Amino acid sequence: MAVILSVANQKGGVGKTTTAVNLSAALKTVKKRVLLIDIDPQGNTTMGCGIDKNNLKNSTCELLLGECSIEKAITHSDAVEIDVIPANINLIAAEVSLLKDEHLEYQLKNALAKIDNQYDYIIIDCPPSLNMLTINAFTASKGIVIPVQCEYYALEGLSALIQTIEKIKATTNPDLEITGLIRTMYDARNNLSNEVSVQLQQYFSNKVFKTIIPRNVKLAEAPSFGQSAINYARSSKGAISYISLASEVVRKTTIN
Question: Cα 115 vs. chain centroid, distance in angstroms?
Answer: 19
Q: Give the span between the Cα atoms of 21 and 56, in whole angstroms.
A: 19
The pLDDT value recorded for residue 256 is 52
Q: Give the span between the Cα atoms of 6 and 252, in whole angstroms.
A: 15
pLDDT digits (tens), the chain, 256 positions: 899 999 999 888 888 999 999 999 999 999 999 999 999 999 999 999 999 999 999 999 999 999 999 999 999 999 999 999 999 999 998 888 888 777 789 999 999 999 999 999 999 999 988 889 999 999 999 999 999 987 777 777 788 889 999 999 999 999 999 999 999 988 877 777 788 888 888 888 889 999 999 999 999 999 999 999 999 999 999 999 999 999 999 999 986 5
The pLDDT value recorded for residue 198 is 86
82, β-bridge pairs? 77
The pLDDT value recorded for residue 185 is 87
pTM of the model: 0.95
Cα separation values, 44 from 16, 86, 87, Å: 10, 9, 8
Q: Cβ(183)–Cβ(200) under 8 Å?
A: yes
Q: Give the span between the Cα atoms of 85 and 61, in whole angstroms.
A: 10
Q: Give the span between the Cα atoms of 36 and 47, in whole angstroms.
A: 12
